[in-house]
Structure 1
Amino acid sequence: MKRKSLTTVVAAFVLMAMALSVSAQKIQYSRYYDKRGINVFEPSKKDSVKYDGFKLRIGGSFTQDYQSIKSTNKANYVATSSSNTVNRNLLVGLVKNTNGTFQNNDSVNSRMSGFNLAMANLNFDIQIDDGIRVFLENYMSTRHHNEFWVKGGYIQIDKLPMFNNPEWFTKYVRVKIGHFQPNFGDFQFRRSDGGNTIFNPFAENLLLDAFTTEIGGEIYVFPTSDVMIMGGMTSGFINGNIQPTAESINSNGVVRTKRSPSIFGKLAFDKQVQTDLRVRLSASVYNNANSVRNTLFAGDRTGSHYFAVMDPAQINGTATTITANFTSGRLDPGVANRVTAINFSPFVKYKGLELQGGYDNVKGSVFADVANNEWTKRKWNQVYGEVVYRFLKDESLYIGSRYVSATGEPSGLKYGTADAGKTNGAQAKINVNRLAFAAGYFPTKNMLLKLEYVKQNYKDYPWADYRYDAKFSGLMIEAVIGF
């Protein structure tokens, strides 16, 4: 028994040593998964890693959240259905009595407190030749997919060793092919992605969360060390799709459907002006003319880190679940079948002070918006900005504030007769805004502890909607590991 225990301990140490060795590998033209990856956007063509053979780097991320957030609304009475008299505008977190009714003291508010499901990512970076890198991303555990889930994978080519590494390609060109996140906007380099939250100073992402994975390719040109130009084309789907596209039918008749590719581009200027001053500005555009299910703003397979905030207790008479209803606190613009999006993202870092912001303009539709063979495009705008100050040795401590505001026209949301000053049957135009304050501490480059206070308000929702005159606020504590 003792010999078996000793063997187990020795084997564990050997495996740990192997893991440390593998995770310590340096891969060309890539980004670290720890603190060193903060404020890294597209990897530079000025790479200092020398190729000395095949390498494998295994990286991982882990996040554990604790939350105490209270949601409130007016909960105006609207029956779930003709046969179900329960108010559909009650919030999740209600306590049922033994007779099946809800306790009155929970009818308009709920406090969701406790530890959330831990999220974890597993990454494989593989250097297969000089300037050629393969990347495989996986979700080991997330709110939406509790089981192991492959996020995507791609090959990135920065050199052409099979053609004796022509200088023009090595210095100025990059090609990326596979199933990956389209390079739209700059917040993607900061956002929380399942267990990978070390780059985000706050606990959550934006209200309109631009994230998806699609199959295709991107071509990058770096004409100077400060300028990047990118063009890309993808399938427009979050996964593979080879089946014929069925026609969609709405109240106005048949809507002709087809599959169109997503076409997108990006221009970025990024310059270290002085030793202590860095300035970056990027502009992105993304367009899909017709898709059965585009997910540019609905492609996150991990879920919000605000669990069950401002969610209805029931959806169509079925109890809300944390796993299925995983986008708590976010907005879906409802542009799954046609979308055009534009983003501008400025970034300034002066010593320990960081200013990060952006503007999104989104226009799009779903098939239900088509009337008389004309697409009715609904519009959304989002503005966001954050101030973060990092200090102490190696910027191991930070404080910050972020403000986000989104205004737009949700799919299928109309004003009714009870909405004073609004036209009955008119498309609703709503606003949601969020203010967050955060502080964080890095004990090491691989560990981060965050504390956040958040407050979010919902405005101009219809009287009959559960978000009418709604808001939530509370605290988040987040422990993060990245390696």
Structure 2
Amino acid sequence: MRTLGKLLVIVFVVVMSAQVQAQQINFDRNIDNFRYPDKRGVNVFESPKDTTSTFDGVDVRVGGSFALQFQAIENENAGLPGYQLKEAGSNFNLATANMDLDVALYDGVRMHLRTYLSSRHHHEPYVKGGYLLIDKLDFVSEGFLSDFMQYTTIKVGHMENNYGDAHFRRSDNAQALYNPFIGNLIMDAFTTEVGAEVYYRRDGFIGMVGFTNGKLNQNVEEDITGKTGGASFLAKLGYDKQVNDDLRLRLTGSLYNTGYVPSSYLYNADRAGARYYGVMQALDADSDDFRAGRYNPNLTNSITAVMINPFVKYGGLEFFGTVEMAKGKASAETDDRTTMQYAGELIYRFGADENIYVGGRYNLVDAEDISGEDVTINRAQIAAGWFMTRNILLKAEYVIQNYDDFGQNSILNDGKFNGAMVEAVISF
């Protein structure tokens, strides 16, 4: 893996050098049906569908992102013997970096590949995932199913699942420019699986169905049931319309369902790690719990999750909401457990080209924990940000997170963390 990482860095430097030389003649880094990694990509969800083609041969776009935070967060819990916390102080976190390759391969065919060059959990580079995006089938024959493909997109790969809309606004390792806050949701639905998704978009309506093999870590080994894996079904239905110059409305409902998989990672797959470093860590722990600050309901073998997301933007004021239900169990359990998550964020953007914003988010998780307890976690965040340029974002956040009803045998018993963070993000 480290050899691969070094090779990727060398490739990045060589390709970037060649691209910089080419851009001395023509600084045009746009490709078709592309969500920009800069400020133009804010409040963009699925990659846009535009039948206008600019394809003129294979075109490689090399991009990347970089994020660095200064953290001043304190944590506490009941402090019972055997469950004391490490002290969290104030300093800089590990700088994170991504490298993106987006390649126009053919008219209406694009590839995306993201590599984490540095992340909290893996300091060495490794591939997050990639996919092939097909908006035309002209590679079969010119104009093949053109009436159908005018509204259809096919996505295939080992890729981030399109479950819900919250994952379009979350920080993805160093790509933190789309997120107006610093932390992601408490119950962070994010996973990468091998599969395919088919989209149909027309007159503002959005429909998507997808299937994956339900596995984060790919292998062909059989489990104790004699299976090498399972299958997950995804679906999304919604409406997204720019009603007029001031008002945009979007409402989607999403489904993720698997009858059985050896291990479901829907709420536990982000190997880049949570944004709040060093919080709620056991004093005697030998290693960093890189997912601390989040909550995983541990529905590890069967799960049905539903997420509803409203988005309203009027002028500079925007609201984004999340209502989520996850139900399922681990294989050793006989009864299903249910976890509910609610989140609402209100953002006001102002200034030249809405380059400054302030906002707040409240996030609540109410869960039947695998321990058998009914537990609650709530978080309040207040944030402000400044797009210094469309590629550079400076943001600050104050966060308070409380853990309620966790038992005496939990490190989260009467747990709490609070404090401030500042994050600088560069994305291009």
> Could you tell me whether the CA contact under 8 Å between 1:156 and 1:177 is conserved in 2?
yes
Tell me the SS of whatever aligns to 2:161: coil
Matched residue type, 1:245? D
- Out of 280, 290, 300, the position equivalent to 1:310 is 280
Q: Distance in 2 between matches of 1:320 and 1:170?
A: 53
- Out of 88, 96, 111, the position equivalent to 1:111 is 88
Q: Distance in 2 between matches of 1:280 and 1:338?
A: 30
Q: CA deviation at 1:258?
A: 6.8
- Out of 183, 194, 205, the position equivalent to 1:215 is 194
- Out of 57, 80, 91, the position equivalent to 2:85 is 91
Tell me the SS of whatever aligns to 1:36: helix
Q: In the alignment, which residue of structure 1 is the partner of 2:215?
A: 237
Q: CA deviation at 1:47?
A: 4.7
> Could you tell me whether the CA contact under 8 Å between 2:253 and 2:308 is conserved in 1?
yes
Q: Distance in 1 between matches of 2:327 and 2:179?
A: 27
- Out of 402, 407, 412, the position equivalent to 1:457 is 402
Q: Is 1:386 the counterpart of 2:345 in the alignment?
A: yes
> Could you tell me whether the CA contact under 8 Å between 1:410 and 1:428 is conserved in 2?
yes
Q: CA deviation at 1:310?
A: 1.4
Tell me the SS of whatever aligns to 1:63: strand
What is the root-mean-square deviation of aligned Cα atoms in Å? 1.9
Q: CA deviation at 1:312?
A: 1.4
> Could you tell me whether the CA contact under 8 Å between 1:258 and 1:290 is conserved in 2?
no
Q: Is 1:275 the counterpart of 2:245 in the alignment?
A: yes
Q: Is 1:266 the counterpart of 2:236 in the alignment?
A: yes
Q: In the alignment, which residue of structure 2 is the partner of 1:291?
A: 261
> Could you tell me whether the CA contact under 8 Å between 2:68 and 2:94 is conserved in 1?
yes
- Out of 76, 79, 93, the position equivalent to 1:72 is 76
Q: Distance in 1 between matches of 2:389 and 2:395?
A: 14
Q: Distance in 1 between matches of 2:349 and 2:273?
A: 28
Ranges in structure 1 where 5+ consecutive residues have no aligned partner: 1-10, 78-86, 93-109, 248-255, 370-374, 414-426
Q: Deviations over 1:19-54 (max 9, x none)?
A: 856984211111111111101011232355522221
- Out of 431, 435, 443, the position equivalent to 2:380 is 435
Change (3 A) 1:13 1:293: closer
Q: Is 1:133 the counterpart of 2:126 in the alignment?
A: no
Tell me the SS of whatever aligns to 1:368: coil
Matched residue type, 1:117? L
Q: Is 1:164 the counterpart of 2:137 in the alignment?
A: no
Q: CA deviation at 1:245?
A: 1.6
Q: In the alignment, which residue of structure 1 is the partner of 2:44?
A: 40
Q: TM-score, normalised by structure 1?
A: 0.82
Q: Is 1:403 the counterpart of 2:362 in the alignment?
A: yes
Q: TM-score, normalised by structure 2?
A: 0.92
Q: Distance in 2 between matches of 1:395 and 1:329?
A: 31
Change (3 A) 1:482 1:239: same
Q: CA deviation at 1:16?
A: 7.4
Q: CA deviation at 1:13?
A: 11
> Could you tell me whether the CA contact under 8 Å between 1:257 and 1:290 is conserved in 2?
no
Change (3 A) 1:180 1:12: closer
Tell me the SS of whatever aligns to 1:335: coil
Q: Distance in 2 between matches of 1:286 and 1:16?
A: 40
- Out of 114, 119, 123, the position equivalent to 1:142 is 119
Q: Distance in 1 between matches of 2:15 and 2:255?
A: 49
Q: Deviations over 1:80-132 (max 9, x none)?
A: xxxxxxx2x1102xxxxxxxxxxxxxxxxx23311000111101000011000
> Could you tell me whether the CA contact under 8 Å between 1:24 and 1:57 is conserved in 2?
no
Q: Distance in 2 between matches of 1:45 and 1:334?
A: 36
Q: In the alignment, which residue of structure 2 is the partner of 1:321?
A: 287
Tell me the SS of whatever aligns to 2:88: strand
Q: Distance in 2 between matches of 1:205 and 1:180?
A: 19
> Could you tell me whether the CA contact under 8 Å between 1:23 and 1:57 is conserved in 2?
no
> Could you tell me whether the CA contact under 8 Å between 1:276 and 1:351 is conserved in 2?
yes
Matched residue type, 1:232? G
- Out of 395, 412, 420, the position equivalent to 1:475 is 420
Matched residue type, 2:134? I
Matched residue type, 2:368? E
Tell me the SS of whatever aligns to 1:30: coil
> Could you tell me whether the CA contact under 8 Å between 1:362 and 1:380 is conserved in 2?
yes
Q: In the alignment, which residue of structure 2 is the partner of 1:53?
A: 57
Matched residue type, 1:220? Y
Change (3 A) 1:462 1:350: same
Q: Is 1:173 the counterpart of 2:152 in the alignment?
A: yes
- Out of 29, 32, 39, the position equivalent to 1:28 is 32
Q: Deviations over 1:227-251 (max 9, x none)?
A: 111000001001322111224xxxx
Q: Distance in 2 between matches of 1:472 and 1:12?
A: 43
Q: Deviations over 1:373-422 (max 9, x none)?
A: xx3111100000000101000111100001100010222x2xxxxxxxxx
Matched residue type, 2:21? M
Q: Distance in 2 between matches of 1:334 and 1:400?
A: 31
Q: Distance in 1 between matches of 2:85 and 2:205?
A: 48
Aligned residues: 412
Q: Distance in 1 between matches of 2:409 and 2:45?
A: 43
Change (3 A) 1:233 1:394: same
Q: Distance in 1 between matches of 2:328 and 2:417?
A: 28
Q: CA deviation at 1:463?
A: 2.3
Tell me the SS of whatever aligns to 1:168: helix
Rg larger for: 1
Tell me the SS of whatever aligns to 2:30: coil
